Amino acid sequence: MTELWQLSAQDLRDKIAGKEVSPVEVTKTVLARIERLQPRLNAFITICHDQALAAAQRAEDAVMKDEPLGVLHGVPYGVKDLVNTAGVRTTFGSLLYKDNVPTEDAVAAARMKAAGGILIGKTTTPEFGHKALTDAPLFGRSGNAWDQTRSCGGSSGGAAAAVAAGLGPVGIATDGGGSTRIPAACNGLVGIKPTLGTIPHSQVQDAFGNYTYVTPISRTVMDTALQMQAMAGPHASDPWSIGVAAQDYVAAARPEGDLKGKRILWSLTLGNTVVSQDVRTAFEAALQRLRALGAELVELGEALPPMEPVWRVINHVTWRARFADMIAKNGNQMTPSLVRQVQSAADWSAIDYQKAMFTRAEIFRRIQGWLETHDWFVTPTLTRTALPIDQDLFDPITIDGQVVGELRSNLFPYTMPFNITGHPAMSLCCGFGSDGLPIGLHIVGRFRDDASVIRLGALYEASEAWMQRWPAL
């Protein structure tokens, strides 16, 4: 029998609207599960117990009065601790902001609240979201929902571990190089990085050169679509969002029809050198599922230029502008791996940065060319299952026992390009490795066609049964 904490956001919303389930009962159940599992997962840095129960009571009152209900009415959700929440501590995973309480919600957080969602807490992130692992001096390490000796990924690791463990069916995450899709793959979830501007980013400092995104994370494609429906749409704070109307993501998430007449471009490696046998097997099986749905599959016959060096220049120069003064004053209180990356950017000039931006445009145009003749582009999300929980950012990683080199370009070469180009990209589960840990399928769509990515994800998800599996916690 399905437990209350196992219900999807869609099912919860429908049952709440139908007066079959109480928002207060749901919230109490989720808060009790958080209390029980927090010592194992360390997925939350702040838990909004009293505030959540008060919001749940207001949600229940609205139902009983037959008031209009939002698309996530009464549904509990967590928010990554990089995203501002009015009146709720937002630390950015930093000792320097451990007592920071914003006075305003970020646009995405405000829209989730307006859609009727119940904020249950802030989920863990490495300091300022600076790596694909989730640990920080402020809270320690967060564990993978499927195996607490393994990393939950990052930088939205707490959000992913929480949703995978049933600590709320959905969450708000962020993605600057794969930070939603990486932990989604590590924990068997759906994580989408929308097209640039689809969900307004009201906190980013460089709104025009932006490559970071506020995102949904959930267990199902439909729940991701509900979050997109709540959070998407233009806002004056984000120039990329202005004039961009939200699509009908919920309709796209209904697994109707097939893929006849559609062409899917694919690559196992995207220029990377080593992929685990488990990932290879799961990815090949996923391709067969897509072929069975009627799609024509075409293997990519070219490679992108190495993306990690381009991303690193753009990202680390941005971080140097943001954090250099902070490090000069309080670097001894900050995460050494963040400090080291910021300091590395001192070697790059303004010309180096601008050349990286030129390459960004070239890669965008190359991918546009791919998608003129193909409907989607698919790859694995990661080259292997989740790393050990004590993995260091600067230590090499291993794949099938082979030392392959540094973490970023060898673990997630598939995700960074699409932060730079802005195309919509989604990870969803396509199997499990021999170690029992999830493996992700990465779907990229045409610029501003987020609904088509959701549609392909929904059709693939309906052909599999991975979402029915839960970690044994």
Instruction: Kindly name the residue from 80, 113, 122, 131 that is annotated as catalytic.
Output: 80
Residue 456 falls within a domain, yes or no? yes
349-359 confidence digits (pLDDT tens): 999 999 999 99
Any domain includes 63: yes
Residue 473 lies in a domain: no
Q: Is 80 a catalytic residue?
A: yes
* Annotation says 122 is catalytic: no
Residue 188 in any domain: the answer is yes
CATH number of the CATH domain containing 41? 3.90.1300.10
In a domain, 49, yes or no: yes
- Please give the share of the chain, as a percent, with pLDDT higher than 70: 100
Q: Whole-angstrom Cα distance, residue 429 to residue 440?
A: 5
Please, what is the average pLDDT of the chain? 97
- Of the residues 155, 202, 409, 427, which is catalytic? 155
pLDDT at 450: 98
Q: Is residue 174 included in any domain, yes or no? A: yes
Query: Is 457 within a domain?
Result: yes
- List pLDDT tens digits, range 257-292: 999 999 999 999 998 889 999 999 999 999 999 999
The pLDDT, as a whole number, for residue 303 is: 83
Average pLDDT value for residue range 111-120: 98
* pLDDT band at residue 1 under the 50/70/90 scheme: low
Known catalytic membership, residue 202: no
- Domains held by the chain: number: 1
298 — pLDDT class (breaks 50, 70, 90): very high
User: pTM of the prediction?
Assistant: 0.98
Domain annotation covers residue 301: yes
Looking at residue 273, its pLDDT comes to 83
Please report, rounded to a whole number, the percentage of residues in the chain having pLDDT higher than 90.
97
Report whether pLDDT(54) > 90: yes
Range of the domain at 46: 4-468
Question: What is the pLDDT, as a whole number, of residue 84?
Answer: 98
Per-residue pLDDT band at 385 (split at 50, 70, 90): very high
Tell me the per-residue pLDDT of 426-446, one tens digit each, with 9 for 90 and over: 999 999 999 999 999 999 999
What is the C-alpha to C-alpha distance for residues 85 and 109, in angstroms, rounded to an integer? 7
Looking at 94, 142, 151, 179, which residue is catalytic? 179
Residue 304 pLDDT > 90: no
